[in-house]
Amino acid sequence: MRIERQTGAIALAAVDDLLQAVALQQDHQPLPDHLWLDLRDGGGPGFVAVTAHDDGALIGYAQGSRGNGSTAAAVVLAPNAESPELAEALLAELLAGVADNGGGTVDWWVAEPSQLHETAAAEAGLHRGRDLLQMARALPVGTPIAIETRSFRPGIDDDDLVDVNNRAFADHHEQGGWTVATLRRRMAEPWFDPDGLRIHDRDGRLAGFCWTKLHAERRPVEGEIYVIAVDPDFHGRGLGRQLTLAGLDSIARRDVVVGMLYVDPANTAAVHLYRSLGFAVRRRDRAYTVELAPTAS
C-alpha cells in the first residue's frame, strides 16, 4: 500500500470514481459540500490531499480544507478496503500536511461514527468534538407562511447575503467568514436555483434568508434547508420560523416530499425551532478534533 500526500494537480477523475462508489454504498456523499468544492476548484490555501493506492488502485482518500479558523477533514475508504489502519494512515499523513501548512484546529467529520472511526481517531491523536444532527420531516408542512419572501437576485444580492451570513454565523467554523467568492462557487453548482434561495427584506434591507438545495440523486428526492440565517438585529421576532416554513414550501412546490437539514445540537435556538416544526433526528455525525502545532522549520 502507498500513502502519498498530493502536492500537484489531483487526479480528479479517480477520486470522483471513489467518491461515487462510496456514495452508492452509503446513500450519501462522502465529502461534505465545501470540501468537494475546494477539491473541484484545485484547492485553496491550506488544502491538503492524501491518497492511498494498492496495486495501482485508489483505495482511500483524505482531504483537509481550511475554513473559518479550522481545517475540516474527511477520510474516504473504498468499500472493500475499510479498516481502522487505513483510516489512521490517511489521517496521520493529512495531519502532517496541516502541520506543515501552519497547524491549527482540525475537525475530522464522520457520518454515523462507528468503532472503526473511534479507533482511527484515537490512534491518530484526535478526541471527540462537536456532533451534527441530521433531521428530517415529511412535506408539505401545511402551515401558512406569515411573511413575504422573494427569490435571490444573482449579482444584486450577493454582498448583502454574505454580510448577513457572516453576521449570523460569526463564530461558526464552516459557515462563517464567507466571501462573495465562497457564495459564487455554490451559485455555479448544477443544483443552484435562485428561486430556492428565499429572501426576506425588512426595514429596507436583507434581514434573513433560507437557502434550499435539492438532492436529486436520492430516492425519494430530498430537499435540504441548506443555509438559514437571520441578521442578529432581527433575531427573536419569528423570522427564523417563517423563513424555514418558506424554504420548506419552496421545496414542496418542486414535488419533493422529504425535507432535511443539519444542525449542531448545541444550537439550542435552531434545534428548538426545527423540533417544533416537526423535524426528527435521523442521523448523527461527529467531528474528531485535534489542535496541531506548526511543523518546526
Ligand X SMILES: CC(C)(COP(=O)(O)OP(=O)(O)OC[C@H]1O[C@@H](n2cnc3c(N)ncnc32)[C@H](O)[C@@H]1OP(=O)(O)O)[C@@H](O)C(=O)NCCC(=O)NCCS
Least gap, CB of 269 to ligand X (angstroms): 3
Complete DSSP assignment for 240-283: HHHHHHHHHHHHHTTT--EEEEEE-TT-HHHHHHHHHTT-EEEE
Please count the residues of this chain forming the interface with ligand X, following the rule CB under 6 A: 20
Least gap, CB of 283 to ligand X (angstroms): 15
By CB under 6 A, is residue 145 in contact with ligand X? no
By CB under 6 A, is residue 130 in contact with ligand X? no
Question: Strand order in 48-54's β-sheet?
Answer: 2-6, 48-54, 57-66, 70-77, 104-111, 280-292, 127-138, 258-263, 222-230, 205-215, 197-202, 150-151
By CB under 6 A, is residue 270 in contact with ligand X? yes
- Selected binder of ligand X within 75, 263, 287, 292 (CB under 6 A): 263
Least gap, CB of 74 to ligand X (angstroms): 20
In the complex with ligand X, the residue whose CB is nearer, 52 or 210, is: 210
Complete DSSP assignment for 174-229: TTSS--HHHHHHHHTSTT--GGGEEEEEETTEEEEEEEEEEETTSSS-EEEEEEEE
Could you give the CA distance from residue 187 to residue 194 in angstroms, rounded to a whole number?
A: 8
Dmax over CA atoms of the chain, in Å, equals: 63
Q: Tell me the per-residue interface mask from 154 to 173 with ligand X, x by CB under 6 A, - otherwise.
A: --------------xx----
Least gap, CB of 267 to ligand X (angstroms): 5
Least gap, CB of 172 to ligand X (angstroms): 7
Least gap, CB of 122 to ligand X (angstroms): 29
Within 193-222, the residues that bind ligand X by CB under 6 A are none
200 and 239 Cβ atoms separated by less than 8 Å: yes
Residue that is written with C-alpha cell 465529502 in the block: 31
By CB under 6 A, is residue 273 in contact with ligand X? yes
In the complex with ligand X, the residue whose CB is nearer, 44 or 265, is: 265
Could you give the CA distance from residue 153 to residue 202 in angstroms, rounded to a whole number?
A: 16
In the complex with ligand X, the residue whose CB is nearer, 10 or 135, is: 135
198 and 213 Cβ atoms separated by less than 8 Å: no
In the complex with ligand X, the residue whose CB is nearer, 204 or 236, is: 236
By CB under 6 A, is residue 276 in contact with ligand X? yes
By CB under 6 A, is residue 68 in contact with ligand X? no
Write out the residues near ligand X by the rule CB under 6 A: 168-169, 228-230, 235-241, 263, 267-270, 272-273, 276
